Amino acid sequence: MTLALENGRRQFDYWLTVYKRTWKGTLISSFLLPLLYLAAMGIGLGSFVDGNGTDALGGVSYLQFIAPGLLAATGLQIAVGEATYPVMSGLKWQKFYFSMIATPLRPADVVFGQFGFIAFRVASTCAVFLVVIAAFGGLDSPLGLLGLPVALLVGMAAAAPVAAYATKLDNDAGFAMVFRFGVVPAFLFSGAFFPVSQLPNWIEWLAYVSPLWHGVELCRDLSLGTVEPWLALVNVLYLLAWFLVGTWLAIRGFNRRLIR
């Protein structure tokens, strides 16, 4: 495990070098759009919601309700984006993963390096977003700053199984299914915009299966200072389970595709 982590760190250096040359292309999608969304939904729409009462939101402003959910959702969206087309590129288009394992690196090392870069992308983007949320008054408690590691965990819980899924595809057509039936429904129905208790019963229970719901709930509880330790532990363990199982599947998939 120590060797795998060390080799993964070396791969992270490669990805960081690539990102230094391409970071400008991520400014709009990674930083500007989430900020505009927060302003439009939390402040623009939020003024109308607050004007009609906030009892359904637990008595907090709509900005304070929605901001933690958007933080967790941003982590998931960034992670899924980095676990789809970049992974497909390394396996099929540019095939740089094959060059990597031509060295003493193993497929597991490649996976850890890729995941290390995804974690960097999620953490850096969400850190900026969290600063803006705090500046807008979206945090009711200093514990809300812990939303950053939660958003990172949400991102990795989604990235690992998506990367594993990418290893099973022969082309990128399958990614449309990921975004259409995975990311978009999770974004809309995970409690980020309204309590899931307002959904029909069968959809409400589907929301509880989503890792994003657990991340949204934990980020919001931290932001509002209403954390229940046992429930927070359940949320963290659930997200860790998604990440660990997804990582195991991803390593299996990389072994299958890279070593034939």
d(CA 210, CA 186): 7
Average pLDDT over residues 8-23: 77
pLDDT of 77 reads: 93
What pTM value is reported for the model?
A: 0.91
- pLDDT band of residue 50 (cuts 50, 70, 90) is low
pLDDT of 54 reads: 63
d(CA 173, CA 248): 24
Each domain of the chain, given as residue ranges in start order, spans 2-258
Residues 6 or more apart whose CB falls under 8 angstroms from that of 200 comprise none
Average pLDDT over residues 234-260: 95
Dihedral angle, C-alpha 6, 151, 203, 194, nearest 10 °: 180
Q: Is the pLDDT of residue 11 over 80?
A: no
Which of the pair, 94 or 57, is modelled with greater confidence?
94
pLDDT of 75 reads: 95
Highest mean pLDDT among 37-51, 123-137, 141-155, 199-213: 141-155
Residues 6 or more apart whose CB falls under 8 angstroms from that of 36 comprise none
Q: Is the pLDDT of residue 5 over 70?
A: no
**pLDDT tens-digit profile of 92-134?**
999 999 999 988 888 998 999 899 999 999 999 999 889 888 8
Q: Is the pLDDT of residue 155 over 90?
A: yes
